[in-house]
Amino acid sequence: MMDAALLRVEELHVSYNTPTGLVQAVKGVSFELGREKLGIVGESGSGKSQTGRAILGLTAPGGEVRARRIEFEGTDLLHADRRTMRHIRGAGISMIMQDPKYSLNPVMTVGKQIEEAFLVHSKDSKREAYRRTLEMLRAVKIREPDRVYRAYPHEVSGGMGQRIMIAMMMIPEPSIIIADEPTSALDVTVQLQVLAVLDDMISERGMGLIFISHDLNLIASFCDRILIMYGGQVMEECNAAELHRARHPYTRGLLDCLPRLGGSQHELSVLRRDPAWLETRGETS
């Protein structure tokens, strides 16, 4: 699976110059992604979202990205010009965001927003874009695609909004999807539907997925491989199936904090963070 890496990230650093000093959000993250589902898990502020945005070159103003290498299908993203970058965004790498309530443009119809994602990377006609959009809406299991095409984002539910988002990001057929907490804003029952849709489309099209979440259980059951991040660094990398055998004290700590149904009802342990984890990793990099 790993022989044809789509994306190579080596020694990625993201830092922000703030009035109170330099904040290092990501400190030397390296990984490779093939046609697989890679989970990145970590607490708030561990740098997982920043990693996703840095790959797309969409770090917020004031942020600085350094890396030894960010390579996508042989293209060096660190030194790519704006045109190349724009072509890669959407058509090469795409991203699904947390809450469709904010990530869809409120004054544009759903259909126009999806069509736009297709047309910006294609020379096809508007008619073809319309046809593809309806097809895509059907593919994400939306029952009345004609009606939803003409609807505005405030007229659809959260789960539907997220499926629309998936349709929009998939329509230019990118090789990689970054899903940044795609189900955190949804109800538990809807979460599963959205994940099922995402899973189907990823495996059908043989894409690579970077799934960013703070939900260890979700990631373990959904992804093939997991990166555990803490303080802007990768603490541990393991196969999802072998998560329970993880050895790093931070991962163990996270696992111990999860309540289990039917388990013994002793008090849950409290996560202890050891600053030494960051220092040792920092020296080796």
Partner 1 sequence: MRASSVLKAAGPGRALPSKLVKASGVIVSLILTFVGLTAVTFTIGRVMPADPVLAIVGDRASQEVYDQVFLQLGLDKPIYVQYLKYLGQLLQGDLGTSIMTAQPVAEDILRFFPATMELATVATLLGVFVGIPMGVLAAVKQGRWPDHVVRVIGLIGYSAPIFWLGMVALLVFYARLDWVAGPGRLDVFYDGIVDPVSGILLLDAALAGEWDIFDNALDHLILPASILGTFALAYIARMTRSFMLDQLGQEYILTARVKGIPEWQVIWRHAFRNVLVQLITIIGLTYASLLEGSVLTETIFSWPGIGLYITKSLFNNDMNAVLGGTIVVGVCFVGINMLSDLLYKLVDPRVR
Under rule CB under 8 A, residue 154 binds partner 1 = yes
Torsion-angle region of residue 198: left (phi > 0), alpha (psi -120 to 50) or beta?
A: alpha
**Residues between 101 and 140 that touch partner 1 (CB under 8 A):** 102-109, 116-117, 120-121
161 binds partner 1, rule: CB under 8 A: no
Residues 74-93, interacting with partner 1 (CB under 8 A): 86-91
Nearest to 282 by CA among 237, 228, 231: 231
Percent of the chain as helix, strand, coil, to the nearest 5: 40, 25, 35
Q: Residue 274 Cβ, how far from partner 1 at the closest point, in Å?
A: 34
CB of 85 to partner 1, least distance (A): 8
Q: Which stretch binds partner 1 (CB under 8 A): 148-156, 190-198, 239-247, 257-265?
A: 148-156
Q: How many helices (H) and strands (E) does the chain have?
A: 11, 11
For residues 148 and 157, what is the distance between their CA atoms, to the nearest angstrom? 11
Does 99 engage in binding with partner 1 (CB under 8 A)? yes
Q: Which two tokens stand for residue 157?
A: 């539910």
List 155, 199, 200, 204, residue binding partner 1 (CB under 8 A): 155
Which of 41, 169, 179, 202 binds partner 1 (CB under 8 A)? It is 169
List 2, 17, 45, 58, residue binding partner 1 (CB under 8 A): 58
Residue with tokens 């660190």: 78
Distance CA 151, CA 145 (A): 10
**Which of 29/117 has CB closer to partner 1?**
117
Q: Measured from the CB of residue 58, what is the shortest distance to partner 1 in angstroms? A: 6
**HSE-up (13 A, CA, CB side) for residue 88:** 24
Q: Are 142 and 165 in contact (CB under 8 A)?
A: no
Q: Pick the closest to residue 223 from 37, 13, 51 (CA basis).
A: 37
Considering the complex, state which of residue 108 and residue 271 has its C-beta at the smaller distance from partner 1.
108
* Other CB atoms within 10 A of residue 235 CB: 21
Number of amino acids touching partner 1 (CB under 8 A): 31
Which positions lie near partner 1, rule CB under 8 A?
Answer: 56, 58, 86-91, 94-95, 97, 99, 102-109, 116-117, 120-121, 152, 154-155, 165, 168-169, 172
